[in-house]
Amino acid sequence: MVTGSSGQGKSVLLNKLGNVTVSSAQQRLPFMAGVDKGFSMQGQVALLRDSLPPDRKDEVVGIVLQNSPKHCRNLFDIQLGARFPIAPERNWIISMLTAMCIDPSTGNPPNERDTRQILDRVISMAYTANAEKSPRAWARGVVPGVDTALDKSGLIERYPAQWWDSSTWYEVRDLLFEAGFVKEAQLAQFEAVPELADMTTFLNHEDVQSAYGRVQRDGSQELLLEYLHRCMTDACREFKMLAGRTQFLISPRTRVIAIDLNNVMGDNTTNAGHLKTGIMFLFAGQVAGGDFVLPQYRDELLEAVPTLYHPMHLDRLEQLDQEVKTKVYDELHNAKQVPFIFPMLETQDREQRKFGIRTVLSSQYVSDFPDAILNSANSLYMMEVDPKDEKLLTDTIKVPKVTLQRFQRLGSGPAADGSGVPFLGVFRIKGGGTLARILKNAMGPLELWALGSSPTDSALRRLLYEAVGGSTARAILAEAFPQGTAEKLIALRQKQAGEADSNNVIRTLANELIKRRGYNL
């Protein structure tokens, strides 16, 4: 766990720990999945991508989510080659749909047992319909990439026109994969699976109506099926990034994924806003690191796909099984009001640790975390000690009081002499003991400029990245501001110019720095 309020160096330390993980890898990048708010992990992504040759840049991906159909990721997507979800995928889909049906005023879905049973049933019906009863028919012009692959491979000429008139997306997927067009096969599968809008259709199915049609919502005369139907309709309208066909494809070679939720977070002043934030964290965690658990379900996965797909999945399973996987959740204080997030994270950490999945959780204060997570944590990095956390630290985590007092006297934030940012490291050791040490995160200017997350520094870095590229931009910034920040200069110029908005000041400074660099770009 990593804690610290804004501006104390928490995100920089988190990114530094990520860089240590990367640099300690052997032949390949480690598997890392990050969920963040505020773009701090995107700096690490840019640094890693700049360090890779062109043919390996797809191994590191940074995604800033937008609630738009253009950024859609269908929550019903499954493993390539399958027609039905395996256990972890199915459980996640049920969790997502259940979260969409939570009453914000109570924090729970109505008739929780009935709700889960109904959603489980309609999910099964949707996949069965798409796989067996009425699979979606292929049509030219829907996915240009698939059309091009069919023409290029000669597959379109292998079968008569009558066959193509009745062909399905699943059949087209298998043909393309067998011909070696893996990406296009995945695009075809995106069109074959169910989507969120299908749930309303199956909620109206006669089998569901006969079994649950007279069940009333707890504390109301409204029928439960009508409530669930309304929730699914509202979700299709509110979550455009979930309600449709997947538009962005993550390469199978990708090993480091950072997903930023800044633009899709809910309003933190309302229960409905907290709920939306929780759904976004749930969604991003699955997109970034959902495959990490696949080795636990090896037999089920291989059973779910034809033998044609086994070599591809076996290679992926072998990689995932042999390496430690890291999942990072930053800015979790934004989700502390969401009832299902921390129980989910605690369960994940407890169950997945033995399978080589390392979970890193970051928030502002130690008290943001429930006792179950505090009791299971192996290490704690604190950028500052909040007085209200002292009793918890001394009684529960067994940090010596003298160590806390000494750390508090140091002050928080970067040291005035530029030697780094002090932090308190607390580590559980074998035998039940606790080791607490005052440490310092000492970083050079290049790394500071790559990983810093303050709004003004990030804006300046982004302008220079766009103008001259990542490596040159970091060199310019490190030379001009070896302390790793330009905040004081920007604030001074903003005050002198009498401007409320710093954008003009930052843009002017960026142009000055490029001009000063001259021809050495």
Instruction: Quickly list DSSP for 293-327.
Output: GGGGGHHHHHHHS-GGGHHHHHHHHHHHHHS-EEE
d(CA 354, CA 89): 20
221 and 274 part of one domain: no
Q: Which is more confident, 258 or 432? A: 258
Q: What percent of the chain has pLDDT over 90?
A: 56
Domain assignment present for 113 = yes
Domain assignment present for 291 = yes
Domain assignment present for 337 = yes
Answer whether residue 236 shows pLDDT above 90: yes
Q: pLDDT tens digits, residue range 394-408?
A: 888 889 999 999 998
273 and 209 part of one domain: no
d(CA 51, CA 105): 48
Please report, in angstroms and rounded to a whole number, the separation of the first and last CA atoms in the chain: 40
d(CA 75, CA 246): 9
d(CA 471, CA 60): 16
pLDDT of residue 340: 78
pTM of the model as a whole: 0.89
Domain assignment present for 414 = no
Q: pLDDT tens digits, residue range 414-426?
A: 777 767 889 999 9
> Distance of CA 165 to CAs 113, 141, 184, 196, Å?
43, 13, 20, 26
430 Cα distance to chain centroid: 32
Answer whether residue 250 shows pLDDT above 70: yes
Domain assignment present for 98 = yes
Answer whether residue 431 shows pLDDT above 80: no
d(CA 146, CA 148): 5
223 DSSP assignment: B
pLDDT of residue 105: 84
Of 217, 238, 259, which closes a domain? Answer: 238
Main-chain phi, psi angles of 68, to 5 degrees: -145, 145
pLDDT of residue 123: 97
Of 33, 60, 37, residue with least CA distance to 47 = 60
15 and 59 part of one domain: yes
- CA torsion sign, 375 to 376 to 380 to 382? negative
Total number of domains constituting the chain: 3
Q: pLDDT tens digits, residue range 338-362?
A: 777 888 787 777 777 778 899 999 9
d(CA 484, CA 487): 9
The model's confidence at residue 474, banded by pLDDT at 50, 70 and 90, is very high
Of 518, 378, 354, 484, residue with least CA distance to 434 = 378
The model's confidence at residue 317, banded by pLDDT at 50, 70 and 90, is very high
Q: Which alpha helices (H) appear in 355-454, and where do they start and end? A: 371-376, 390-395, 401-410, 445-451
Residue 145, classed as helix, strand or coil, is helix
d(CA 120, CA 125): 9
d(CA 398, CA 380): 12
98 and 229 part of one domain: yes
Average pLDDT over residues 307-323: 93
Residues whose CB is less than 8 angstroms from the CB of residue 168 and which lie 6 or more positions away in sequence, other chains included: 135, 136, 137, 138, 192
pLDDT of residue 225: 95
211 and 332 part of one domain: no
d(CA 62, CA 47): 11
62 DSSP assignment: E
pLDDT of residue 122: 97
DSSP string, 173-232: HHHHHHTT-HHHHHHHHHHHS--TTHHHHHHTSHHHHHHHTTPBPTTSSSBHHHHHHHHH
pLDDT of residue 348: 75
Question: How do beta strands 256-260 and 31-36 pair?
Answer: parallel
Question: How do beta strands 325-329 and 31-36 pair?
Answer: parallel
Of 204, 238, 272, which closes a domain? Answer: 238
29 and 56 part of one domain: yes
Of 230, 209, 219, residue with least CA distance to 100 = 230
Average pLDDT over residues 361-367: 89
233 and 200 part of one domain: yes
The model's confidence at residue 271, banded by pLDDT at 50, 70 and 90, is confident
Answer whether residue 79 shows pLDDT above 90: yes
Domain assignment present for 62 = yes
Q: Which alpha helices (H) appear in 8-139, and where do they start and end? A: 10-23, 40-51, 87-100, 112-128
pLDDT of residue 200: 94
104 DSSP assignment: T
Question: Which helix (H) or strand (E) is 67 found in, with range?
Answer: none
Task: Show the tokens assigned to 509.
Answer: 């400074």
CB atoms < 10 A from the CB of 500, how many? 6
* 258 within 8 A of 63, measured Cβ to Cβ: yes
Of 197, 214, 238, which closes a domain? Answer: 238
Task: Match 């009935």 to its residue by tokens.
Answer: 114
255 and 353 part of one domain: yes
Q: pLDDT tens digits, residue range 130-166?
A: 999 999 999 999 999 999 999 999 999 999 999 999 9
Strand partners for 361: 329
203 and 97 part of one domain: yes
The model's confidence at residue 26, banded by pLDDT at 50, 70 and 90, is low
Range in 96-105, 275-284, 342-351, 363-372 with the lowest mean pLDDT: 342-351
Residues whose CB is less than 8 angstroms from the CB of residue 341 and which lie 6 or more positions away in sequence, other chains included: 278, 281, 282, 332, 335
Domain assignment present for 288 = yes
pLDDT of residue 207: 93
Specify the CATH number for the domain of residue 345. Answer: 3.40.50
110 and 233 part of one domain: yes
d(CA 114, CA 425): 46
290 and 357 part of one domain: yes
d(CA 378, CA 450): 28
Domain assignment present for 380 = no
Of 141, 192, 150, residue with least CA distance to 170 = 192
Instruction: Quote the domain boundaries for residue 479.
Output: 454-517
60 and 107 part of one domain: no
pLDDT of residue 387: 86
d(CA 182, CA 178): 8
* 470 within 8 A of 50, measured Cβ to Cβ: yes
Q: pLDDT tens digits, residue range 190-210?
A: 999 999 999 999 999 999 999
Give the best-scoring range by mean pLDDT among 51-55, 108-112, 225-229, 264-268: 225-229
* 255 within 8 A of 87, measured Cβ to Cβ: no
Q: pLDDT tens digits, residue range 46-71?
A: 889 988 998 899 999 999 999 999 88
Answer whether residue 391 shows pLDDT above 90: no
